[in-house]
A and B are shown apart, each in its own frame.
Chain A
């Protein structure tokens, strides 16, 4: 029975990565109405950026975290203006395809720039493990949990307590209404995209030291994050958090008790079941109108 607690702990730490990715996804989806397929690859780019800063330029890890997040935010701004802004009035499908194209560019770029070999992100406490009693977790993963908590609190504060956050929420709820209130919807869209990519950036650098860095590392977490936001309801951050944690734990339990190979299929099965029986998810406001 002891291992159940360990599975839960493993699941929560992995789930935190999904929380960051899914929150970003759901914000972008709520405001730009596009499933940002490239979210996983943005997370990958951040991880590599952090890796190079720490390993090749001897940057302090925390500084690298901040710098990489900042860089991802700027990348997000660039991507928004070069890609999503030009097609903002096109059918939704086009935006989706644009995100797919972005994914391919990021992956191809990473492959060419960083090479295809896996990279190991080593920091001073890479090999340290924290344990209490019979529970044990790699120190970096504890940092992931702590970091995610801090970031999500900050996000909550931003959305609920600042004017910009309120504008974001308003635009997500009703785009035309927000326009009528004088909110500059295009600027809000850009902000949403930047916030989304920054969240992916934080996720990437936080988890980087705990995993193998590869150009395709973003794909798996992206799919789980999508499952999470479907589960939690498109556009709801609380849903994204809950869905991510639940799926992270489910994945961990499935790996442990059933089979590791099928665990991804298991996560998808949950998503499909949710889609078929309650498409709006746990906290979704309404079924998406295309």
Chain B
């Protein structure tokens, strides 16, 4: 693992400091944008695990986002339990659906897999809209709770009513999930994922049980997406079927590609670029799709590795040059 003084670590630390301090200086609306970026980053990270590291392109993550969100709202409201039981139940349900959908879906490859995940996502979206009895239909569901206050060791309680605290809550999960992903990717399982992403047949011939590994990746990915969905529901307190609409899956993929699939920082950079910059420039929503499309197009043609991927390649070439200068060219 790279040393703690490496530029990468420094970059992460700086980003963390900015992420923690920035909302203290800006207004509520901006904090809500940062919260959304954090939440969508979690989804991008989850897709990154499945696509960037395991090579399976799924357009179905909107389904898990929706399942996580609706599960939290429904369990908390209808079963009258507190936030935490509902939260863990929601992500467990999300993971369960990931497992169940993954079993048949992962038997397919290439465009078939993409289309089957899209099909599942579309079906979940339709159910969210049409099963009025369960989900409230077009009216959506209100009442998803904020996290219950946590008693602090020095007295008093940490409450989550404020937008700021909710932001830190979301940021906390982003960091935890990033950490889990990092450890996962650098472990043996992670290397297996990467092997599958390079050449699935070869991996299989090496004795790797690709089906189980892919399923593991898919399920974990679904759990993380479910976390994002539950967090979003908790923050907004109102959710509507639009959260499960299948086009979200494409938006997440776009963020991931632009940021750089297969890198740790990629999903976050990509989500930030595709969300914050249009917001900052106060771009009209209809133009945003157009601009995001252009950005994605430019990246896929000229820099398919994304920002982070390109930065990696660029800096490693640069690094080589300064190495040569120090030790003399061979």
Residue numbers of A with Cβ under 8 A of B are 29, 35, 83, 86-87, 90, 92-94, 96-98, 100-109, 111-112, 116, 219, 223, 226-227, 230, 234, 259, 261-262, 264-265, 268-269, 271-272, 275-276, 279, 287-290
Using A104-B290, A275-B116 as known contacts, say yes or no to A265 and B127 having CB atoms under 8 A apart: yes
Residues on the B chain within 8 Å of A107, using CB: 289-290, 293
Query: Complex: how many Å from CA A94 to CA B109?
Result: 15
Q: B115 to chain A: which residues have CB within 8 Å? A: 35, 226, 230, 271, 275
Which of B112, B118, B120 makes the CB contact (< 8 A) with A223?
Answer: B118
Q: Closest B residue to A229 by CB, please name it.
A: B115
CB neighbours of B293 from chain A (8 A): 101-108
**A104 touching B292, Cβ below 8 Å:** yes
For B127, the closest partner residue in chain A by CB is: A265
**9 further A-B pairs in the complex, CB-CB below 8 A; given A92-B110, A101-B297:** A87-B301, A87-B304, A93-B57, A101-B296, A105-B297, A108-B293, A112-B286, A271-B115, A272-B116
Task: Return B294 CB to nearest CB of chain A, in Å.
Answer: 6
- Distance in angstroms from B41 CB to nearest chain A CB is 19
Residue on A with the closest CB to B295? A101
Binds A, one of B71-79, B87-95, B229-237, B249-257: B249-257
Q: How far, in whole Å, are A97 and B302 apart by their CA atoms in the complex?
A: 13
A104-B292, A269-B123, A276-B104 known; A290-B300 Cβ under 8 A: no
* Cα distance A101–B292 in the bound complex, in angstroms: 8
Q: Is the CB of B287 within 8 A of A108?
A: yes
Chain B residues whose CB sits within 8 angstroms of the CB of A264 once the complex forms: 122, 126
Question: Which of A87, A261, A276, A290 is B109 in contact with, Cβ under 8 Å?
Answer: A290
Contacts of A287 in B (CB 8 A): 112
A108 and B289 contacting across the interface, CB-CB below 8 Å: yes
Chain B's closest residue to A289 (CB) is B110
The answer on a CB contact under 8 Å between A111 and B126 is: no
B297 touches A83 (CB 8 A): yes
Number of interface residues, chain B, beta carbon within 8 A: 39
User: Hey, which bits of chain B sit against chain A, CB under 8 A?
Assistant: 57, 104, 107-112, 114-116, 118-120, 122-123, 126-127, 129-130, 247, 250, 253-254, 257, 286-294, 296-297, 300-301, 304
A101 to B311, CA, bound (A): 22
When C-beta atoms are compared, the residue in chain B nearest to A84 turns out to be B301
Provide the residues of chain B in CB contact with A219, threshold 8 Å. Answer: 247
Complex contacts, B247 vs chain A, CB 8 Å: 219
Task: Give A92's nearest chain B residue, CB to CB.
Answer: B110
The residue of chain A having its C-beta at the shortest distance from the C-beta of B101 within the complex is A272
Q: Which of A100, A111, A268 meets B119, CB within 8 Å? A: A268
Contacts of B112 in A (CB 8 A): 230, 275, 279, 287-288
Specify which chain A residues have a CB less than 8 angstroms from the CB of B253 in the assembled complex: 97, 100
Q: Is the CB of B290 within 8 A of A262?
A: no
- Shortest distance in angstroms between A24's beta carbon and chain B's nearest beta carbon? 16
Identify the closest chain B residue to A33 (Cβ): B111
| Residue numbers in A under 8 Å from B110 (CB-CB) | 92, 288-290
Residues in chain A near residue B108, CB distance under 8 A: 275-276, 279
Complex alpha-carbon distance, A97 and B111, angstroms: 12
> Can you report 7 A-B residue pairs in the complex whose CB atoms are below 8 A from each other?
A108-B293, A226-B115, A261-B129, A268-B120, A275-B108, A288-B110, A290-B111
Are the CB atoms of B292 and A108 closer together than 8 Å? yes
- A234 to B293 CA separation, bound complex (whole angstroms): 27
Verify B291–A108 contact, CB threshold 8 A. Answer: yes
- Complex-state Cα separation, A227 to B118, whole angstroms: 11
Docked-complex contact A97 and B107, CB < 8 angstroms = no
Q: Out of B287, B301, B304, which one reaches A112, CB within 8 Å?
A: B287
Chain B nearest CB: distance from A216 CB in Å?
9
Tell me, rounded to whole Å, the shortest Cβ–Cβ distance linking A137 to chain B. Answer: 27
The distance in angstroms between the C-alpha atoms of A47 and B123, with both chains bound, is 27
Complex CA–CA separation, A83 to B297 (angstroms): 8
Q: What are the residues of chain B within 8 A of A100 when measuring CB–CB? A: 250, 253-254, 296
Q: Which residue of A lies closest to B256 (CB)?
A: A97
| 9 closest Cβ pairs, A-B complex | A108-B290, A104-B293, A290-B110, A108-B289, A111-B286, A105-B293, A101-B297, A101-B296, A265-B126
